[in-house]
Chains A and B, each alone.
Chain A
Amino acid sequence: MKQFATLAMVGMLWGVLLPAQEPPARKVPSVTMPPVPVASVTRGKANSVELLFRVEPGFHVNSNQPSAEYLIPTSLKLDPPTDIAIGKITYPPGQEMSFAFAPDEKLSVYTGDFSLSVSIRPLASVLPSKYEIRGNLRYQACDNAACYPPKNLPVRFEVKVVKAPPPPRKNPPQSPHAHN
């Protein structure tokens, strides 16, 4: 009888606890930017600086060239200090991936780590020093079943503007008679 009572209690508790369990809460996706080492950029020249971004596991963001017009591309906008010009921003090609919500459709996305290459040209008149460049990475993330509103990730990195190395010295042309 005692065993029956124990079993009845365990059974009731089991029956009560199982249906009451809450499904795990959905995580909010994040894209982060690991710290960038200060890049040296030569004034008067175009320099390429790599920026690394990290998409949290389980999420993806659209690439810069998403597979459909209605999708929001990942894009970087930078607001450089005066006299430092931002040139072309090169985005990596997206990974063509299918997801559970559309197994027959390929979407062009970034997952995990991806790097953007930014062309930076300080004017020849810029004083050699460290400069901070700020901006925003706009992205729109999804997981396997839902999409999250577009977000802006603040972007900050430093560049060290250095003088261009002096041009190599040209030796004066030697006289053809020098070795006579």
Chain B
Amino acid sequence: MKRDPVVIIVVAMVVAIMLVFGLNLAHKSKSNAGVQMKDGVAPDFTLQSLDGKTVRLSDFRGKAVLLNFWATWCSPCKIEMPWFVELQKQYGPEGLQVVGVAMDDASTKEIADFAKEMGVNYPVLIGKESVGDAYGGVQFLPENFYIDRNGKVLDRAFGLKGRGEIEDEIKRIVASTAVAQK
């Protein structure tokens, strides 16, 4: 029995498409395990800032947000902070807002002193476990979420990445266009 090569190609393509679909579905469900993000939208939260103000993530809607989970005891987090300071200066005029969420047991004063020492020029909020849980459970630090102007998480990074990689992600979220809310 001679098989038609066209049929073989079509079958191969169908199998490949099914594999793409299946693997992407598995990939998505695995990487989003535990993350309560509906349609990729960054969960909103309300936290206190170091100066006692109540800040909601949604206050930054329309801006590109780099949400950085960190702690004073985390050495790799300390490496990123000066980069964030520079990147905030550089991309702030284009709509970037870095937002730090401190996930440690240190007092507000200790966190504030640390942030001051690092020259932080962006809001730092006092984290809560429930907020960490909403973002998949912050099991290690740093964790960064790149949120576009519409509040969608475009990407996230676990652990310290290179400055160039962080800047590339920032360019992506800054380039996003805000869609008017209905």
Q: Which of A4, A16, A28, A101 interacts with B23 by CB under 8 Å? A: A16
A12 and B31 within 8 A (CB): no
Report A-chain residues with C-beta under 8 Å of the C-beta of B78. 70, 102
Name B's interface SS: helix
B9 and A147 within 8 A (CB): no
B19, B73, B78, B105: most-surrounded residue (chain A CB, <10 A) = B73
Q: Which of A153-169 contact B (CB under 8 A)?
A: none
B140 and A1 within 8 A (CB): no
Report A-chain residues with C-beta under 8 Å of the C-beta of B140. 26, 146-149
Q: Which positions in B face A, CB cutoff 8 Å?
A: 3, 5, 8-9, 12-13, 15-16, 19-20, 23-24, 26-27, 30-31, 71-79, 103, 105, 114, 139-142, 158-161
B160 and A146 within 8 A (CB): yes
B27 and A145 within 8 A (CB): no
Report B-chain residues with C-beta under 8 Å of the C-beta of A101. 75-76, 79, 160
State how many angstroms separate the Cβ of A168 from the closest Cβ of chain B: 53
Q: Which of B5, B76, B77, B159 interacts with A26 by CB under 8 Å? A: B159
With both beta carbons as reference points, the residue of chain A lying nearest to B138 in the complex is identified as A149
A118 within 8 A of B: no
A178 within 8 A of B: no
Inter-chain CA distance A40–B41, complex, in Å, is: 61
Q: Which positions in A face B, CB cutoff 8 Å?
A: 1-2, 4-6, 8-9, 12-13, 16-17, 20, 22, 26, 28, 70-72, 99, 101-102, 105, 107, 140, 142-143, 145-150
State how many angstroms separate the Cβ of B111 from the closest Cβ of chain A: 10
Report B-chain residues with C-beta under 8 Å of the C-beta of A8. 9, 12
Q: Which of B8, B73, B158 interacts with A2 by CB under 8 Å? A: B8
Inter-chain CA distance A102–B82, complex, in Å, is: 13
B139 and A28 within 8 A (CB): yes
Report A-chain residues with C-beta under 8 Å of the C-beta of B26. 20
On whether A5 and B16 interact (CB within 8 A), knowing A16-B23, A20-B23, A70-B73, the answer reads no
State how many angstroms separate the Cβ of A46 from the closest Cβ of chain B: 34
